Structure 1
Amino acid sequence: MWDAELDVVIAGAGGCGLIAALAAAEKGLEVAVFEKTEFILGNTAASAGMIPAAGTRFQKEKGIFETAEEMAEDILKKNHYESDSELTLALCQESARLIEWMVDSLGIELSLVEEFSYPGQRNRRMHAPKSRSGLELIKKLRMEVSNRDNIYLTLKSELTDVIIENGKVSGVEVDTSHGKQKIKAEKVILATNGFGANKDLVNKYIPEIADALYFGYEANTGEAIKIGEKIGAALDCLTAYQGHSAVDEAHGILVTWGTIMMGGFMVNKEGQRFGDEAQGYSEFAKEILLQPDKHGYIIFDEDIYDQLLSIEDFKNIAEMNGFKSAETVVELAEKLKIDGEALINTMEEFELATERGKDAFGRKHFPKKLTGKLYGIRVVPALFHTQGGLKINTHAQVLNNNNEVIENLYAGGGAAVGVSGKNSYGYMSGNGLLAALGFGKIAGDHAAKTIQERVENK
């Protein structure tokens, strides 16, 4: 009944799927990755490529000695302790191994991001490629996959179903250009991301962000959920998502939240601030949706501008003249077409708040006073990706509604539940990419280990 037999079959060729494939193939297994589109992209490619990790040698070189437990506590505090504590800790414990494996075994150049910290992170723990680009990560992973003779990557091939025999997953059905194929597999890993591009599911589970721009990968339509429900898999935290508050809609590029975390602020078209921007770009997105015309304007200075030019997306916006600049507040307001008098008052209030270290919105993060030439850019809020999905254990094995393992089935990234709890406020920067790459590595390693143990015990 089988058209082919393999050790591991993976659905989805984004960051999660490629990492899982490389981890399993490293142990000598035969691995197939099926990607339903004709591209190797996904949400990892659209990200800033920043992976949080605790206890890496890159942190230690900078005098930062952080434990996985401290990182997990930060994540849990941010999501109001809504994510599974064991799963959260397991991911944090994997994080340093993941980073150093990517550098040492895959040859991907990563370094500690020192320019700024993100909301809720007690230490600098982001690790990223030099370009600060997720596209660079995907290109590097794709190259590594192409160098492995035991990884078969097939595009325009969609995994549509998993086959259950005797209560265990034994294979998959795949729609290919040559028709339907049944493939026997000892282990199956679902890495198809979430459901951000499925308008019906977004309206059903996260209606508060349904009117925002969708800024994730168009192929993220919830296949893992559909497959999982069919075989009785449990679902968890489907109301969680990563929003973003700073998309340059004119150029289709993400504006780094470093503009805020390094000392900037946001106003609406009336020149007024409307909340604590430093709380996090995910939860702040819905605040922007409540503003006139559903957009905002980030205001920052030349010092911040110069430091952020090291980030590729930011540099690209600058080269396309996406940022407006001026020597005075009034001139900047004119260029941004917002209320100048109100912006002057807002600027004065923000300066006083910077001196006091707090403001009326509860913001306490004021790293510097804005000086010199000013910069501004119009931004819109967006849904970046969903954070809920198939329920998994600390080995990334999928669980059923009785909290039992569905044997031979794994999930990671947006296909699985993440560590962001149940709401937008639970998202901490890097949660999505860490869950993709981290659970991809955990799934690939565990699948390989259990296959090897079975062979050895024969």
Structure 2
Amino acid sequence: MTQNTHPRIVRNQTPPADIPHVSVVIVGAGACGLTAAIRLRDAGIDCVLLERDAVPSGSTALSSGFIPAAGTRLQKSLGLEDSQALFAQDVAAKAHGQAAPHLVQAYTRAVPQAIDTLEAHGITFEVLEGFLYPGHHAPRMHAVPERTGAALMAALERTATSAGADILTEALVRELWLDAADRVVAVGYVRPDGNIEHIACDQLLLACNGFGGNPDMVAELLPAMRDAEFGGHTGNDGSAIAWGRALGARLADLGGYQGHGSWVTPQGALMTWAAIMEGGVQINAQGRRFHDETQGYSEAAVYVLDQPGRVAWNVFDEPLLALARTFPDFVEAEKAGALRTAANEQELARLIGCDPAMLHETLTAVDAGQPDAFGRRFKRPLRAPYHAVKVTGALFHTQGGLDIDDHCRVLRQDGTALPNLLAAGGAARGVSGNEVSGYLSGNGLLSAVGGGWVAAATLIEQRRA
């Protein structure tokens, strides 16, 4: 039958008769859901992932696919000095102490276990070396060889299905059925023809989405991003928050999000921040720099949006262009016509449309030595020819959601856990605190992969209890 397609809770009603039953239903076949499914299947537990899209993708497929982890087998084999304690300190420091300590500890412990297990399943990872992302004190970004989120998603999906997980695509979950004890007993999902189908379950994991694709929620909860470009997945419609509000569950860190100050315009794509970290700068339409770019690409989104025309230019030189071209996102942006080249300062000023004297002053200040007016220290000056990419600030994904404990159990307002409802990834609060500057590079996939791993462990323990 065709029903309302808004997220809703159905209480104290008997689910339709003769519907299929599965031990665990996972809402969302993104990185979080797939990681959880792989661990569940390793434990011999049957599970079904309900995915709204025709092909699992989500926010991960739109990202670079870099998973931060300390203490993995691969990291150790490369002789890289790091520790989970240092990683946890980096996460906490970037969030200015606002990140939920119990989740920081749980996820930084879990993510290396997840990566080592995924490796054992045949997924190849590499550690990105040669530069550090903002806030990280060791090379700990793990990526598949293609260095894209789409390739990571393909590897996770292949591994999950090979392990025996079932993925039902084009299944948009809209109903959670609960009994009088707040136990989830079934879910309802909309099919492409508009009809709703149901499946019964013993346990439910919400691994679905944030709310970046819901303009009303963004305007309500993230007013600074009200008019920003949305670079995330449209499936981030806030379903988890809608269900949480209907359940009377606790919500947390709703002001936290990942912005990106390097959203290529008008092409609409991410440009790697590596070129900026290694010496590139952001220059506005007046020919001025306006922040310390090394603090992070997330808060850079707000700074860029505050500039004239809500745009800036990423400016870099030949060595940095070579570095940028090692990242597929930049290669695609260049193919789309994003890269401009200027033989000298005068040409660069004409490209930007700024006063040549002001631009000369700006570039002259980019030199090795003492910290500049923003506190940034450069290794060397930029040298002609110059390369530039026009960018704006964008919202990529949100970092707040259902409040959870360190077992990923969804919490009521009084802090007690709902009996069989878990959440992780975009559906739950992350480890970035309650504002944009708290986002440490990779926090999204830390929460997704680490959270999926922790949630699966909890589901396994609950079944054994």
Give the TM-score normalised by the residue count of structure 1.
0.94
Cα distance in 2 for partners of 1:184, 1:403 equals: 27
Q: Report if the CA contact (8 A) 2:29-2:167 is conserved.
A: no
Cα distance in 1 for partners of 2:303, 2:71 equals: 35
- Match for 2:283 among 267, 272, 290? 267
What residue number does 1:230 align with? 246
Once the two structures are TM-superposed, the CA of residue 260 in structure 1 deviates from its matched residue by 0.9
Cα distance in 2 for partners of 1:367, 1:126 equals: 23
Structure 1 pair 82–119 and aligned structure 2 pair: CA distance change class (3 A) = same
Q: How do residues 375-386 of structure 1 correspond to structure 2 at under 5 angstroms? A: 375-386=387-398
Q: Report if the CA contact (8 A) 1:330-1:341 is conserved.
A: no
Cα distance in 2 for partners of 1:292, 1:388 equals: 30
Once the two structures are TM-superposed, the CA of residue 395 in structure 1 deviates from its matched residue by 1.3
1:17 aligns with 2:33: yes
Cα distance in 1 for partners of 2:107, 2:445 equals: 11
1:399 aligns with 2:414: no
- Match for 2:257 among 222, 235, 241? 241
1:390 aligns with 2:402: yes
Equivalent pairs: percent with the same residue?
A: 36
Cα distance in 2 for partners of 1:212, 1:94 equals: 34
What residue number does 1:342 align with? 358
Once the two structures are TM-superposed, the CA of residue 29 in structure 1 deviates from its matched residue by 1.6
Q: Deviations over 1:211-236 (max 9, x none)?
A: 21111001111001111221221100
Structure 1 pair 410–143 and aligned structure 2 pair: CA distance change class (3 A) = same
Amino acid at match of 1:191: A
What residue number does 2:195 align with? 179
What residue number does 1:417 align with? 429
Structure 1 pair 439–287 and aligned structure 2 pair: CA distance change class (3 A) = same
Q: Name the SS for the 2:366 alignment partner.
A: helix
Structure 1 pair 145–426 and aligned structure 2 pair: CA distance change class (3 A) = same
1:120 aligns with 2:135: yes
Q: How do residues 116-195 of structure 1 correspond to structure 2 at under 5 angstroms? A: 116-176=131-191, 177=193, 179-195=195-211
Cα distance in 2 for partners of 1:300, 1:51 equals: 26
Cα distance in 2 for partners of 1:284, 1:239 equals: 16
Q: How do residues 106-117 of structure 1 correspond to structure 2 at under 5 angstroms? A: 107-117=122-132
Q: Name the SS for the 1:10 alignment partner.
A: strand
Amino acid at match of 1:123: A
Runs (4+) of structure 1 moved beyond 6 Å? none
Amino acid at match of 1:373: P
What residue number does 2:99 align with? 83
Q: Name the SS for the 1:355 alignment partner.
A: coil
Q: Name the SS for the 2:289 alignment partner.
A: coil
Q: Report if the CA contact (8 A) 1:336-1:377 is conserved.
A: no
Structure 1 pair 174–329 and aligned structure 2 pair: CA distance change class (3 A) = same
What residue number does 1:360 align with? 373
Once the two structures are TM-superposed, the CA of residue 209 in structure 1 deviates from its matched residue by 1.6
Give the TM-score normalised by the residue count of structure 2.
0.92
Q: Deviations over 1:315-344 (max 9, x none)?
A: 222334421123312222323444333211
Note the aligned Cα RMSD (angstroms).
Answer: 1.7
Amino acid at match of 2:312: G
Q: Deviations over 1:151-186 (max 9, x none)?
A: 242323324224234232233233335833332211
Once the two structures are TM-superposed, the CA of residue 82 in structure 1 deviates from its matched residue by 0.6
Q: Name the SS for the 1:172 alignment partner.
A: strand
Q: Report if the CA contact (8 A) 1:169-1:406 is conserved.
A: no
Structure 1 pair 338–40 and aligned structure 2 pair: CA distance change class (3 A) = farther
Cα distance in 1 for partners of 2:259, 2:200 equals: 38
Cα distance in 2 for partners of 1:71, 1:192 equals: 26
